[in-house]
Amino acid sequence: MTSDAAFPYEFDNAVCAACGGRCCRGAGGYVWVSREELEAMAAMRGMNAGLFAKQYARRTQGKISLQERVISGEHFCCFFDRAARRCLIYECRPAQCRSFPFWERFKTDQQELLRECPGVRLTGPQADRLDGRATAGAFCKSVSLSLSGRSEKT
Tell me the closest approach of the beta carbon of residue 102 to ligand SF4, in angstroms.
14
The type of residue at 81 is D
* Phi, then psi, of 133 in degrees rounded to 5: -65, -40
Helical residues (DSSP H) of the chain, grouped into ranges: 16-19, 35-44, 49-56, 95-99, 111-116, 127-130, 132-136
Listed residue (153, 145, 63, 148) closest to 104, CA to CA: 153
Neighbours of 96 (CB within 10 A): 21
The nearer residue to ligand SF4, 93 or 115, going by C-beta atoms, is 93
Interface residues toward ligand SF4, by CB under 6 A? 24, 31, 66, 77, 79-80, 87, 89, 93, 97
Tell me the closest approach of the beta carbon of residue 35 to ligand SF4, in angstroms.
16
The nearer residue to ligand SF4, 24 or 122, going by C-beta atoms, is 24
Tell me the closest approach of the beta carbon of residue 53 to ligand SF4, in angstroms.
14
The nearer residue to ligand SF4, 77 or 114, going by C-beta atoms, is 77
CA distances from 35 to 85, 88, 123 (A): 26, 19, 36
The nearer residue to ligand SF4, 37 or 131, going by C-beta atoms, is 37
Tell me the closest approach of the beta carbon of residue 79 to ligand SF4, in angstroms.
4
